[in-house]
């Protein structure tokens, strides 16, 4: 704009100045985040930054220009900021204090978890025996996972969050250590008391034990025991009954002894009339030991285990004594094959005709008893052997002599015929003599008789022997 005069220029300057002032006043009214002095100079308010004409909010939270507590959150506002306590904190006297969620039950931990308070928060951890994040906890089966420390002879019992070890029956201890209970020998030295039927261990837990019978033997085994009935008894060990070896025939007593049963055993006693230990019993010979009671006119006869008295011949038994037979009527000693003849107040027995014997024992003639038959057979066999031996000897002698004669004849025949003839004459005499002698011997030997057989005598109807008379030939 061009000024044509002072006046003209002055007017324009005034107009421009008014416009400027009006403009400044208007801007001051439109800028609430700034403060102006005399409507000429403006400055940005606190919390804002700019040239006074343009002011923008200062973010104290982002620029760390705030004074909030470490446990508070900074929230920016227009021209300022605000401090809000963080979760888990509570505003108190312009500060933030921690809230104990565990003590005030403000936590969300699982019922099987522990709550641990932290600054502004808390932690949850599952109890022992449980697994999880603390907010959810599950039971851990310690028995199934074998994390328990139970003894080999203990039983593991799992329950919520834990487990328990209990010694098995027959063992005693705390579960971590279990020792065998010697049920057969309970004593206070091992911390146990009892009487083989029950006992009390160190934990005062009672265990019932089947008691062995008084006639049984108790044998301890690991964790238990065994009852065995003693020899002579039968049963399961808890109940034992005596074995009657005598009735069952399971004894070794001698046949001549008596078996006496007793509890668990038996004894053997030799019967009356026998002597020994019951296992071996020998008969007592009362007759040789003079321990018999036979009267006069009687003999003692030993029997197995006893004896008997037998009246002598001519006497009969009358009560406990032997009375003499006075006649044949009262006598019964004679054989049925004998005749009784009374003689001067006594009698005599004689075998009947056709029988042989002493009158008390009579056997038919021709019938032999086993003894006599054996004797007769032996006698006949001996006679046979004699006959055979005699005949064999005679035959052998004749053969030897014949050979000798033949040899001599052959030899002499060569020397001279007269000599042969003379020898023949001599030999003829020898033959005649030998034949006569041998014939007599054979006749004597073979003429033998016996009760059972007979060999008839040999009879020679004719004996043609050419005798050589002395006159017919000479040596």
- Number of domains present in the structure of the chain: 4
Q: What is the mean pLDDT of residues 194-221?
A: 62
pLDDT, average across residues 106-114: 91
Residues 134 and 157 in one domain: yes
H or E stretch including 434?
Answer: helix 417-446
Kindly list the distances between the CA atom of residue 135 and the CA atoms of 109, 119, 124, 275, in Å, as whole numbers in the listed order.
5, 19, 6, 98
The answer to whether position 266 is within a domain reads yes
Contact 278, 270 (CB under 8 A): yes
pLDDT in tens, 51-82: 888 888 888 888 878 878 788 888 888 888 88
Q: Is residue 381 part of a domain?
A: no
Domain final residue pick, 330, 347, 364: 364
- Grade residue 220 by pLDDT with cuts at 50, 70 and 90: confident
Supply the pLDDT for residue 378: 58
pLDDT at 318 over 70: yes
Q: Of 136, 104, 101, which is closest to residue 121 (Cα–Cα)?
A: 101
Please indicate, yes or no, whether residues 42 and 159 belong to a single structural domain of this protein. Answer: no
Helices 370-415 and 417-446 meet at what angle, rounded to 10? 170
Residue where one domain finishes, among candidates 69, 98, 127: 98
**Residue 117 and residue 178 share a domain:** yes
Same domain, 270 and 322: no
Q: Are residues 49 and 92 in the same domain?
A: yes
For 242-298, the pLDDT digits (tens) are 999 999 998 999 999 999 999 999 999 999 999 999 999 999 999 998 888 888 888
Tens of pLDDT, residue by residue over 370-390, are 555 555 555 556 667 767 777
Give dist(CA 192, CA 136) in Å, integer: 46
Same domain, 175 and 228: yes
What was the pLDDT predicted at 463? 32
Instruction: For residue 76, give its domain range.
Output: 34-98
**In angstroms, how far is CA 281 from the centroid of its own chain?**
37
Residues 276 and 298 in one domain: no
Question: Residue 131 is part of a domain; what is its CATH number?
Answer: 2.10.25
Residue 71 and residue 157 in one domain = no
The answer to whether residues 58 and 161 belong to one domain is no
Report which of 97, 100, 126 is spatially closest to residue 113, judged by C-alpha positions: 126
Spatial distance between the Cα atoms of 148 and 472, rounded to a whole number of angstroms: 149
Is 378 a domain residue?
Answer: no
More confident residue, 331 or 427: 331
346 or 53: which carries more pLDDT confidence?
A: 53
Q: What is the CATH number of the domain that holds 93?
A: 2.10.25.10
310 within a domain of the structure (yes/no): yes
Percentage of the chain with pLDDT > 90?
20
Asked if 33 contacts 44 with a C-beta cutoff of 8 angstroms, the reply is yes
In a domain, 64, yes or no: yes
**Given this model, what pLDDT does residue 369 score?**
56
Same domain, 58 and 123: no
Same structural domain for residues 121 and 236? Answer: yes
Is residue 415 one of the residues assigned to a domain?
Answer: no
**Looking at the domain assignment, is residue 234 inside a domain?**
yes
pLDDT above 60 for 139: yes
200-212 pLDDT tens trace: 444 444 444 557 8
Work out the pLDDT band at 410, boundaries 50, 70, 90: confident
- 84 part of a folded domain: yes
Instruction: For residues 353 and 272, state if they share a domain.
Output: no
The residues facing 178 across adjacent strands are: 173
Give 193's contacts (C-beta < 8 A, 6+ positions apart): 186, 187, 199, 200
- Is the model's pLDDT at 397 over the cut of 90? no
């Amino acid at each position: 704009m061009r000024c044509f005069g002072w006046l003209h220029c002055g007017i324009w300057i005034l107009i421009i100045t008014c416009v400027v002032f009006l403009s400044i006043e208007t801007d001051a009214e439109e800028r609430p985040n700034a403060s102006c002095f005399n409507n000429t100079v403006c400055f940005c308010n606190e919390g804002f930054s700019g040239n006074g004409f343009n002011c923008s909010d200062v973010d104290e939270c982002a620029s760390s220009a705030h004074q909030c507590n470490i446990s508070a959150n900074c929230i920016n506002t227009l021209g300022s900021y605000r401090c809000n306590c963080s979760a888990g904190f509570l505003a108190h006297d312009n500060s933030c204090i921690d809230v104990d969620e565990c003590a005030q039950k403000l936590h969300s931990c699982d019922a099987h978890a522990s709550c641990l308070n932290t600054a502004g928060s808390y932690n949850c951890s599952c109890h022992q025996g449980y697994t999880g994040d603390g907010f959810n906890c599950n039971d851990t089966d310690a028995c199934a996972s074998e994390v328990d420390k139970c003894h080999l002879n203990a039983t593991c019992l799992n329950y919520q969050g834990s487990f328990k070890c209990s010694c098995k029956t027959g063992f005693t201890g705390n579960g971590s250590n279990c020792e065998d209970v010697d049920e057969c020998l309970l004593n206070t030295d091992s911390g146990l008391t009892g009487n083989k039927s029950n006992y009390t261990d160190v934990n005062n837990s009672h265990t019932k034990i089947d008691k062995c019978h008084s006639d049984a033997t108790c044998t301890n085994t690991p964790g238990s025991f065994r009852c065995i009935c003693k020899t002579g008894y039968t049963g399961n060990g808890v109940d034992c009954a005596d074995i009657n070896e005598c009735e069952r025939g399971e004894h070794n007593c001698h046949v001549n002894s008596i078996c006496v049963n007793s509890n668990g055993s038996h004894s053997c006693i030799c019967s009356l009339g026998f002597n020994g230990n019951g296992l071996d019993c020998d008969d007592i010979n009362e007759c040789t030991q003079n321990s018999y009671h036979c009267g006069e006119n009687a003999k003692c006869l030993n029997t197995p285990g006893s004896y008997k008295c037998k009246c002598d011949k001519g006497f009969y038994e009358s009560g406990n004594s032997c009375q003499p037979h006075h006649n044949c009527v009262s006598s019964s000693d004679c054989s049925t094959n004998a005749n009784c003849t009374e003689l001067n107040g006594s009698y005599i027995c004689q075998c009947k005709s056709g029988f042989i014997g002493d009158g008390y024992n009579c056997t038919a003639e021709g019938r032999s008893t086993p003894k006599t038959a054996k004797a007769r057979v032996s006698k006949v066999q001996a006679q046979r052997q004699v006959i055979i031996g005699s005949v064999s000897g005679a035959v052998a002698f004749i053969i030897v002599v014949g050979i000798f004669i033949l040899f001599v004849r052959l030899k002499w025949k060569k020397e001279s015929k007269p000599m042969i003839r003379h020898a023949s004459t001599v030999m003829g005499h020898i033959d005649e003599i030998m034949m006569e002698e041998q014939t007599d011997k054979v006749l004597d030997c073979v003429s033998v008789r016996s009760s059972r057989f007979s060999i008839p005598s040999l009879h020679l109807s004719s004996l043609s022997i050419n005798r050589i008379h002395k006159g017919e030939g000479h040596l």
